[in-house]
Chains A and B, each alone.
Chain A
Amino acid sequence: MNATEIPLKEPSVSAAAGDAEQLERAYIDASTRVPVLMFYTSAMAWLILGTLLAGFVSFKLHSPDLFSDISFLTWGRVRPAHMNVMVYGWASMAGMGTAIWLMARLCRTVLRYPLLLVAGAGFWNLGVLLGVGGILLGDSTGYQWLEFPHYAAIILFVAYTLVVSWAVLMFRYRRGEQIYITQWYLLGAFLWFPWLYAAGQLMLFVVPVQGVLQSAVGWWYANNLLFLWFGAIGLGTAYYMIPKVIGRPVYSYHLATIGFWTYALFSSWTGMQRLVDGPFPAWMITASIAATILTMIPVATVGLNHHMTMQGYFPLMRYSPTLRFTVFGAMSYTIFSVIGVLISLRSVARYVNFTQASIAYSHLGLYAFFTMVIFGSMYYIVPRLVGREWRYASLIKLHFWASAYGIGLMTLMLLAGGFLQGANMENPSLAFSESTETVLPYLRGRSLSGILLAASHFIFAYHFGLMLLGLGRTSTVPTFLNPVEAETSGGH
Chain B
Amino acid sequence: MKGLAPLFLGIFGTFVFSWVGLTLIPNWQIGHLNPQSDEEGTDIYPQPQSGMVERGARVYAANGCIYCHSQQVRADYAADDIERKWGDRRSAPRDYIFDQPVFLGKMRMGQDLANIGARAPAEQQSPPPAGAATPTASPAQQGAAPAPSPVPPGASPSPVQQGGAPAPSGSSPAAGSSSPATSPGSPPPKAPAAPTPKVPLASPSPSAIANAGPAAPPSPTAAAMWPMETIGEPMYSAAWHHVHLYSPRSINIDSNMPSYRFLYEKRRISDARSADALQLTGSDAPPEGWEVVPTFDAKCLVAYLMSLNQSHPLKEVRSAGGAPAASATASPAAASPSPAPAK
Contact = CB atoms under 8 A, between A and B. Distances in A.
B and A form one assembly: yes
A358 B107 contact: yes
Contacts of B225: 431-432
Contacts of B67: 75-76, 79-80, 144
Contacts of A5: none
Given A264-B14, A277-B79, A428-B83, 5 more contacts: A64-B257, A210-B27, A274-B106, A436-B256, A437-B254
16 contacts: A62-B256, A74-B64, A77-B63, A141-B61, A142-B61, A142-B62, A192-B11, A213-B23, A214-B99, A264-B11, A265-B14, A279-B90, A279-B92, A279-B104, A429-B184, A439-B109
Contacts of B223: 428-432
A251 interface: no
Main secondary structure of the interface of B (DSSP, over half): loop
Interface of A: 60-62, 64-65, 68-71, 74-77, 79-80, 138-144, 171, 177-179, 184, 187-188, 191-192, 195-196, 199, 203-204, 208-217, 220, 224, 228, 257, 261, 264-265, 268-269, 271-272, 274-275, 277-281, 284, 287-288, 346, 350, 353-356, 358-359, 425-437, 439-440
A92 B317 CA distance: 43
A408 to B, nearest CB: 22
B230 to A, nearest CB: 14
A144 B108 CA distance: 15
Given A68-B258, A192-B15, A287-B22, A279 B96 contact: yes
B32 to A, nearest CB: 7
A209 B31 contact: yes
Listed from nearest, the 6 A-B pairs whose CB atoms lie closest are: A76-B64, A142-B61, A268-B18, A211-B96, A138-B62, A354-B108
Contact of B101 (A76, A141, A192, A428): A141
Given A64-B248, A214-B102, A433-B254, A74 B97 contact: no
B287 interface: no
B259 A358 contact: no
B50 interface: no
Contacts, number: 244
A355 B261 contact: no
B207 interface: no
B30 interface: yes
Contact of A429 (B8, B19, B187, B260): B187
B136 interface: no
B184 A77 contact: no
B258 A354 contact: no
Contacts of A217: 23
B75 A277 contact: yes
Contacts of A425: 80, 108
Interface residues of B, number: 86
Given A64-B259, A140-B61, A434-B220, A354 B1 contact: no
B26 A284 contact: yes
Nearest to A214: B102
B226 A433 contact: yes
Contacts of A139: 62
Given A269-B21, A277-B79, A287-B21, A75 B64 contact: yes
B2 A142 contact: no
B55 interface: no
A358 B106 contact: yes
B127 interface: no
A191 B262 contact: no
A216 B4 CA distance: 33
Given A265-B17, A280-B93, A214 B101 contact: yes
Nearest to A216: B26
B104 A278 contact: yes
Given A199-B23, A213-B30, A279-B93, A431 B63 contact: no
A403 B140 CA distance: 64
Main secondary structure of the interface of A (DSSP, over half): helix
Contacts of B220: 429-431, 434
Nearest to A196: B15
Interface in B88-125: 90-111
B61 A68 contact: no
Contact of A212 (B12, B60, B96, B256): B96
A427 B2 CA distance: 57
Given A76-B65, A140-B62, A278-B74, A210 B31 contact: yes
Contacts of B15: 191-192, 195-196, 228, 268
A184 B7 contact: yes
Nearest to B90: A279
B164 interface: no
Contacts of B171: none
A279 B7 contact: no
Contacts of B79: 277, 350, 353, 426
Given A278-B91, A354-B105, A65 B227 contact: no
A70 B263 CA distance: 9
Contacts of B26: 213, 216, 280-281, 284
Given A210-B33, A432-B111, A191 B12 contact: yes
Contacts of B72: 278-279
B222 interface: yes
Contacts of A62: 256
B29 interface: yes
A71 B259 contact: no
A428 B80 contact: yes
Contacts of B95: 211, 279
Given A268-B17, A277-B79, A355-B108, A142 B97 contact: no
Nearest to B317: A279
B260 A74 contact: yes
A475 B32 CA distance: 66
A209 B26 CA distance: 10
B134 interface: no
B84 A216 contact: no
A221 to B, nearest CB: 9
A350 to B, nearest CB: 6
B192 to A, nearest CB: 15
Interface in B37-79: 58, 60-68, 70, 72, 74-75, 78-79
A120 B162 CA distance: 68
Nearest to A62: B256
A213 B27 contact: yes
Nearest to A434: B220
A187 B31 contact: no
Nearest to B59: A138
A430 B102 CA distance: 29
